[in-house]
Amino acid sequence: MLRKIIHIDMDAFFAAVEQRDFPELRGKCIAVGGNEQRGVIATASYEARKYGVGSAMSSVIAKRRCPQLIFVKPRFDVYKEVSTQIREIFLEYTDLVEPLSLDEAFLDVTVNHKNIEIATDIANEIKQKIKERTNLTASAGVSFNKFLAKIASDYNKPNGLYVITPKMSENFIEQLPIKKFHGIGKVTAERMQMMGIHTGAELKMIELEKLRREFGKSGQYYYNIARGLDFREVNPTRIRKSSGSENTFIEDLETITEMESALNQLMEDVWNWSLKTNIYGRTITVKIKYNDFTVSTKSKSASFVIKDKKMYNEICYDLLNDGYSTLKPVRLLGVSISNLDNEQIFGKQLEIPFKDLY
């Protein structure tokens, strides 16, 4: 029972929105998030990526690699608005949409609202509509499961479209470098390379029991994807597990008063998200990162959903005071809520025979 799965991934999403809205940033090396002194980059423009600047990179390292790099403060409200526009386009074709983040999602178009047989045609239409309505570009991957669709979307970026059919999948996977496998991170890829596993073909040669011994439960997943097997459904009921906000400060905080003041804005960000979504949590966590990069986290859970703002504030401040047990300066604070009360019932995914039409 094969399916027609599309993975849509926006191109350098945050940076692209900034360059769209501010013409003076177009064609320039920009990074969203962080600053010249500290912090972590959320994403970088393609101009900056040519210098080796990437997501989750220290801003200090990024600036060293690209001296002309321009740091831009994130505007998450704008990114969320654009993300909503894009998701509305997805829903024109199918209700089976599984967002992974603001800028990417899986779609199951085996059966779709427009009765279009060829999944590639749908992907092209979606890309065109995204460009028309948002003036942004997206890359698309089309295949018969989520693993391959995800890899395909990254194969021809930016503004690309790549298709992996059942007939070509075996050869494609065998030649694929391990570091390109979705679900195999950098550390695991390095470990596999130490074992002599550099390509999909070499991974396919490893017996299941050995993979289980070396990688635990993940061994089964690695065994399957080496054979192009991925049985995960596109899940529109994917439930968010937490929501949080954190900030790396330009200057270290050295007093508890400074920390409480800084924490207040983060608390408001998280609380406002709960108000907007009507989703509240049972667990509150406060994260403290010191200037030597050690981290302290404190959490408190209730047997009920915390909807009282005063109680929420008191718990946050108590956790901060409990967690801060050293005289070391603080470079980052964070607040998050989890054990969210957001369970909903959605429609069941259909089991539909697959036609080899891409």
Tell me the domains of the chain and their CATH numbers.
Answer: 5-11+76-167 (3.30.70.270), 14-72 (3.40.1170.60), 168-225 (1.10.150.20), 242-340 (3.30.1490.100)
343 band by pLDDT with thresholds 50, 70 and 90 = very low
200 vs 321: CA distance, rounded Å = 50
In this predicted structure, what is the pLDDT of residue 346? 34
Full-model pTM: 0.75
Per-residue three-class SS string for 168-213: HHHHHHHHCEHHHCCCCCHHHHHHHHHCCCCEHHHHHCCCHHHHHH
Average pLDDT over residues 265-292: 91
The pLDDT of residue 342 is: 58
Distance between CA 92 and CA 100 in Å, rounded? 18
pLDDT band (50, 70, 90) for residue 349: very low
Residue 159 phi/psi, 5-degree rounding, is 55, 40
Query: Could you confirm whether 104 is annotated as catalytic?
Result: yes
Instruction: Say if CB 163 and CB 120 are below 8 A apart.
Output: yes
* Residues 159-194 pLDDT 10s: 999 999 999 999 999 999 999 998 898 889 999 999
Query: Alpha carbon of 247 to those of 54, 93, 291, 297: distances in Å?
Result: 19, 38, 13, 15
Q: What is the pLDDT of residues 71-114, one digit of tens each?
A: 999 998 899 999 999 999 999 999 999 999 899 999 999 999 99
Return the minimum-mean-pLDDT range out of 41-50, 118-127, 181-190, 234-243.
234-243
pLDDT at 356: 38
288: β partners:
296, 333
Contact present, 263 and 323 (Cβ < 8 Å): no
Catalytic residue among 92, 104, 246, 268: 104
Residues of the chain with pLDDT > 90, as a percent, come to 70
How far, CA to CA in Å, does 257 sit from each of 254, 261, 300? 9, 6, 22
**How far apart (Å, rounded) are the C-alpha atoms in residues 13 and 45?**
9
